[in-house]
Amino acid sequence: MKITFVAFFFLFAFKFSFSTPSLSSTCSDFSTDTIHFPGETHFANVRQLTFGGDNAEAYFSFDGKYLIFQKTNTKEGILCDQIWMGKIPENENEVFQPKLVSTGTGRTTCAYFFPDGKHVLYGSTHLGGTQCPPTPDRSKYGNKYIWPIYEDFDIFKVDTNGRITKQLTKTKGYDAEATLSPKGDKIVFTSMRDGDLELYTMDLDGKKVKRITHSLGYDGGAWFSPDGNKIIWRASRPKTEAEIAEYQSLLKENLVAPTQMEVWIADADGSNAHSITNLKQANWAPNFTPDGKKVLFCSNHEYKRGFPFNMYLVDLNGDNIEKISRDKGFDAFPMFSPDGKKIVFCSNRNNGGTRDTNIFIADWIE
């Protein structure tokens, strides 16, 4: 669910009159470079793939040749997120030319490739209406940052031409945030079907649904480890009476406040669940490194005002946190290519002082 955190950053940016500097892009000169910042030693040959709008949650196909992502761009008539896919350029002369694979109606989120490379899944509200669903009036909640959990979200399997081949969820309430195991046997997703935002697994055909988290609070954005034996996700855990009351009150209105989350890890069946960060604020968008020994995640924990968001590496036990991105705005949604040679992420860098979030790809340097 991308737009939530991009908007979260800009809520604070507006409040503190922060703006992303408009700088030229000169890869050989870090003093004016907004593509590749000083200190980003793990990145090489950084390339910007999209130019304008909100582009995020860009994820590799199983063969590493394509990206699937969600995009909003009002200038192009895309009023809320739709799903696009495109072939990754193989040389500097090739242009990234994505195509629409969602219906173009409702709001969509969290797309992911199937292992066959011929199908993708995503969450969509289009069965509930063709228009973009309304955003909440935050003034009713003290201008707190909140996001909607649309009841009409269900998960769909489509071919790469956009033809829906199967509706994978049909329960009342929110079903979204799905990814697939590298084993090609399970889908993990977030659902409200039991009254709280919990993680579930199901087979690739939508059958054998199993709930795998059982604690009060939001559980979402889950990924399998490269061997398929573990999962990593973002979670909130309200503890005080006031926190629990606020969480449950918002949830009754299909809302959630995502400003306090930590990264959690568990076995793939949900057992042995525990947090691996305790950094406060918003720690989210976790993903495993290709060897399964570390986790990439996004966080604003270094900044009391809630921004910037940068990307970090951490051991599975929570030790040895390393900052890997240096944008003064928003860096998030990192994913390694299957061979571990490239990383894709989404960032406000090089946006000419606008609020645009774009997709970047780079060679990964150990």
Q: Is the distance from CB of 53 to CB of 78 less than 8 angstroms?
A: yes
pLDDT of residue 144: 84
Task: Give 208-242 pLDDT, tens digit per residue.
Answer: 999 999 999 999 999 999 999 999 999 999 999 99
| pTM of the predicted model as reported, rounded to 2 decimal places | 0.92
- Residue 362, SS3? strand
Give yes or no for residue 9 having a pLDDT over 80. no
pLDDT of residue 282: 95
φ, ψ for residue 245, nearest 5 deg: -65, -40
Confidence of residue 3 (pLDDT cuts 50, 70, 90): very low
d(CA 127, CA 154): 8
Give yes or no for residue 1 having a pLDDT over 80. no
Average pLDDT, the chain: 91
Among positive and negative, which fits the CA dihedral 201, 6, 264, 39? positive
In this structure, how many other beta carbons lie within 10 angstroms of the beta carbon of residue 288? 23
DSSP code per residue over 93-161: TSPP--EE-S-SSS-EEEEEE-TTSSEEEEEE-GGG-SSPPPPP-GGGGTT---EE--TT-EEEEEETT
d(CA 317, CA 314): 8
Average pLDDT over residues 112-123: 97
* Amino acid identity at 200: Y
Average pLDDT over residues 285-295: 96
Q: Is the distance from CB of 314 to CB of 328 less than 8 angstroms?
A: no
Question: What tokens were used for 344?
Answer: 């894709």
d(CA 52, CA 54): 7
As a whole number of Å, the end-to-end CA separation of the chain is 29
d(CA 261, CA 263): 7
Considering just the CA atoms, what is the radius of gyration of the chain in Å? 19
Task: Give 307-361 pLDDT, tens digit per residue.
Answer: 899 999 999 999 999 999 999 999 999 999 999 999 999 999 999 999 999 999 9
d(CA 300, CA 318): 16
Q: Is the distance from CB of 246 to CB of 142 less than 8 angstroms?
A: no
**What CATH number was assigned to the domain covering residues 66-319?**
2.120.10.60
* Domain extents in the chain: 66-319
